[in-house]
Structure 1
């Protein structure tokens, strides 16, 4: 018997997640616009890259928001949502790791492309830079990024959303990148009119290359985790917990054995449990079997809309294999 818990409805938590992502997208658009405008004005490819990087991050955040809306509205009332539920009976959990994986690949690819451009610029003598305008941009962006990271972290104490957590990491990464740019621009401004002024054209490509090397591996961890969920790699901790609960049920109620199949996809946890009963067991009412299912479900715990739990009883092992 399948006991699907469904997907998140339009609860305060789901609404909070959407609100955080909407605010983040708006702030990202502001940072991206500042980066592109100030980058062109100051002649800094590092700032232009920072703006384009923010633009790409904002685009993926927009896709993430669409996924959150789908998940939150899955069980909402209305004929349109009912039609949607009929076409996607297993829900939208699978979209979450796909968005996270695509985001990580896009951001890593942008870093590789910018690194190649930085090396090319460095080899051709660098580029002149208006350090005053660059410093103004860097200060503004660092403040916005740190403010958004603080806002997201505070909200995510209650939301516990992987998408919001990814957004927080993005803002912290943006703050770190821009802080590195700020230090480099201050150094570049300080050496103007000194014997080291010949180095100033190399400041922009050098710091851009360094930033790309630092940020390139960061999204790869997200990509790895997303692939594990897309490929339905069994989460060890969850499997051990479910096996422990099932084994206790086997010993307490006299079953022969059990089979457990678990997976984590996005925020969803899919659990299938099969209990092998001896042949010729006395008959039980459906209410008694349902009470046993309730007992097992309570022992597994975390009965949230993100848990999809299936519990079956059989005397034929082939049904459980």
Structure 2
């Protein structure tokens, strides 16, 4: 399944849950369900943004973007993270206000139906996106998965909270029920702050062209050191960064008269050897390998 198809399905799914959440939340006056529905509506907009960004990145425009347009991906994810962060913060403020003003009167029984539907539905989407994310290295798909995971957590919290509220209505603690809804909003919003912050941090690293994951760095470094030893190169310099789906790798080998590869043909053989050994990395690779006898040019 293509990235576009995955994102399109995510949009339709988010729209379904958004409409359900908002209508249900308004009907029973539940801030928690409204927050869940509002988050889903935001997800629709963010998914459409991802869809548009993915389509734009695929369009060839080497004249204006000689190094590709992959940086658009982390920029869009940053926007998504900021929007989700603001949504969580606004929900926290609203929940604190409700708690300070006597809670909210919600019929927990009516909320349970929505909670079951939403939790199961969102969880199914998360499983689907997890499988697709494993097959395709896409920042957009990974971000969608995180959005849906957050929605699953929200829905799960609604389910647990209203189950507790339903039980409490039959006890001497029935008066506490009015605080369940805003308390859930507060707790879930605080917990979910971690997700957009993580997305923001990872995407900022890509926009700033910082080094990729340690596992990738380690693998490339080990390979280069093997080549350096094999051909008795004096030294090697490695620079790597990941931007969107593109992995930039720049390797400079510093030679001397004792090095085992001196001709252009031999250098091309080494380039081919390195390219073959990292071919399984699931990224579009921008590989540059240079050879020099002067460290100044490395």
Q: Which moved more, 1:286-295 or 1:61-70?
A: 286-295
| Contact 2:233–2:259 (8 Å) recurs in 1 | no
Deviations 1:69-119 (A, max 9, x none): 234x34xxxxxx3xx222111112212222223322321221111111111
Alignment RMSD (CA, Å): 2.6
How far apart are 1:283 and its partner, in Å?
A: 10
1:50 corresponds to: 36
How far apart are 1:303 and its partner, in Å?
A: 6.6
Say yes or no: does 1:100 pair with 2:77. yes
Within 2, Cα distance between the matches of 1:247 and 1:201?
Answer: 64
Say yes or no: does 1:295 pair with 2:273. yes
- Return the TM-score normalized by structure 2: 0.88
- Return the TM-score normalized by structure 1: 0.82
Say yes or no: does 1:61 pair with 2:38. no
Say yes or no: does 1:239 pair with 2:217. yes
**Runs (5+) with no aligned partner, structure 2:** none
| Contact 1:297–1:303 (8 Å) recurs in 2 | no
How far apart are 1:282 and its partner, in Å?
A: 11
Q: How many pairs are equivalent?
A: 297
Say yes or no: does 1:275 pair with 2:253. yes
How far apart are 1:129 and its partner, in Å?
A: 1.7
2:123 corresponds to: 146
Within 2, Cα distance between the matches of 1:305 and 1:203?
Answer: 46
Where do 1:68-87 residues align within 5 Å? Answer: 68-71=54-57, 73-74=58-59, 81=60, 84-87=61-64
Q: Which moved more, 1:47-56 or 1:97-106?
A: 97-106
Deviations 1:120-140 (A, max 9, x none): 111111222233432222222
| Contact 1:60–1:103 (8 Å) recurs in 2 | yes
1:113 corresponds to: 90
Where do 1:130-279 residues align within 5 Å? Answer: 130-192=107-169, 195-235=172-212, 236-278=214-256
Within 2, Cα distance between the matches of 1:193 and 1:274?
Answer: 73
**Runs (5+) with no aligned partner, structure 1:** 1-14, 75-80
Within 2, Cα distance between the matches of 1:303 and 1:215?
Answer: 31
Cα gap change, 1:303 to 1:233, in 2 (>3 Å)? closer
Cα gap change, 1:264 to 1:147, in 2 (>3 Å)? same
Say yes or no: does 1:318 pair with 2:296. yes
| Contact 2:6–2:141 (8 Å) recurs in 1 | yes
| Contact 2:252–2:290 (8 Å) recurs in 1 | yes
SS at match of 2:63: helix
1:38 corresponds to: 24
How far apart are 1:305 and its partner, in Å?
A: 6.0
